[in-house]
Chains A and B, each alone.
Chain A
Amino acid sequence: MQRELGKLEQIVEREMGLLRRLPCAVPDEPCLARVRAAVLAENQRLVRRRRLLRISRTVAGAAAAVLLAVSLRLPAGLHSADPEAILGEWAVAWDASRTRVAHLLDEGWRGEETDDRVDDEAAIDDLFQSLSQTLDRFEDL
């Protein structure tokens, strides 16, 4: 079977000589320039998204560690406030932070439409603000 396939392949390869006169259709320079620009812009967007993902994982990890540390240091018997209500507020604040991170990750930045530096710093500031608010909720316990 393999031998027959090998022979068929040789025949077909020989017959492919029919296409040797096929003209070379090449993209023109404006087309190539558009492709390069689109690819490099997309690459830049993906690089930024990866950077934010690394930052958000680091921040989320740190926030989780802080929350754990705070929860372990809670004095016993501190039940004067309504713990369920406080935990509920904390959960809402934490969800809001995660939603914000997910939104930033999904949407990314459109660097070509906005000023990259302003977007980067403003978005990261928002992220820290949001996480800080969730920590504040826990400090109230």
Chain B
Amino acid sequence: MDRTGLSELLQRACRREPAALTELIERYSPRVFGLLYRLTRSRDAAEDLLQETFLRVVRTIDRYEHVGRFEAWLFRIAANLARDRARQRARRGDMTPVDVSWADERDQPADHDLVRATDPLERVVQREAREQLLAALGRLSEPEREIVLLRHYSELSFREIAELLGVPLGTALARAHRALKHLRAHLADEV
């Protein structure tokens, strides 16, 4: 959707038109859910937080000022909710295991793989590559996982992500660089 279209959609959402709110949900749910699922490593938690994210949006949409990017506002809400949940779990000493395997059968191949998915052997290779990537992501620290997943799902620039996280751009970039370096090392271990 181009910026003009989004601007009109947000104006209608600010006027609380149900169809506009539904359209926002349809449009952004996949990416928001993707982020929440990969951050929480729990489908149930991601579903709850997805609902809470959009409830917060609807409660404050009429005060939203479209000066920045809507995605920055939306993903800030989602990331904060995920972080709050992680803190609550830590405070409670919640040792409930997260989904051991991130590879959910409902997961769809990445766009990158869809093009080459015809050969059975290729599909096996792709599946293994996905599982290795997910395992390697699971070994990152929470802040490192958060920043690379935010970049991946929100499609915001690192400057916008730095603002969202309340850190300087240099810190955000350094954290992402460190995260990807660790990710590469873990991937090498997984092979």
Which A residues fall within an 8 A CB radius of B? 5, 8-9, 11-13, 15-16, 18-28, 31-32, 34-36, 38-40, 42-43, 46-47
Q: Is the CB of B50 within 8 A of A23?
A: no
Cβ contact within 8 Å between B16 and A46: yes
B residues 168-186 touching A (CB-CB < 8 Å): 169-170, 173-174, 176-177, 180-181, 183-184
| B58 CB-CB contact with A under 8 Å | yes
Whether B54 is near chain A, meaning CB under 8 Å from some CB there, is yes
Bound: A25/B39 CA distance, A:
12
B117 lies within 8 A of chain A by Cβ: no
Pick the interface stretch among B3-11, B65-73, B76-84, B107-115: B107-115
- Given A21-B129, A23-B108 in contact, is the A40-B21 Cβ separation under 8 Å? yes
Taking A38-B54, A42-B58 as given, write out 7 further A-B residue pairs in contact, using a Cβ cutoff of 8 Å, ordered by the A residue number.
A19-B148, A22-B152, A24-B111, A27-B50, A38-B51, A40-B18, A42-B55
Q: Are A39 and B106 in contact (CB under 8 A)?
A: no
Q: Would B51 and A34 count as touching, CB distance under 8 A?
A: yes
Tell me the smallest distance from the CB of B153 to a CB of chain A, in Å: 9
What is the bound-complex CA distance between A132 and B152, given in angstroms?
Answer: 60
CB closest residue in chain B, given A2:
B169
B59 close to A46 (CB less than 8 A): yes
A39 and B58 within 8 A (CB): yes
Q: Are A21 and B47 in touch, CB under 8 angstroms? A: no
Smallest Cβ-Cβ distance to B133: which chain A residue? A21
Q: Are B21 and A28 in contact (CB under 8 A)?
A: no
Question: How many inter-chain contacts with C-beta < 8 Å in the A-B complex?
Answer: 127
A18 to B110, CA, bound (A): 12
Whether A42 and B59, one on each chain, are in contact in the complex, defined by CB atoms closer than 8 angstroms, is yes
B94 sits at the interface (CB 8 A): no
Query: Within the assembled complex, what's the spacing in Å between the Cα atoms of A73 and B26?
Result: 60
Structural contact, A23 and B103, CB atoms closer than 8 A: yes
Choose one: B106, B126, B177, B187; the contact of A25 (CB below 8 Å). Answer: B106
A36 touches B25 (CB 8 A): yes
Q: Known contacts being A8-B173, A40-B18, A46-B16, is A22 close to B130, with CB within 8 Å?
A: yes
A12 to B38, CA, bound (A): 20
In the complex, are the beta carbons of A27 and B110 less than 8 A apart? no
**Closest residue on chain B to residue A19 by CB atoms:** B152
Contact B173–A26 (Cβ < 8 Å): no
Question: CA A28 – CA B37 in complex, angstroms?
Answer: 12
Interface flags, B124-152, vs A, CB<8A=1, else 0 = 00100110011001000000000010011
Complex CA–CA separation, A105 to B184 (angstroms): 55
Residues of B within 8 A of A22 (CB): 38, 110, 130, 133-134, 137, 152
Contacts of A16 in B (CB 8 A): 148, 151-152, 176, 180
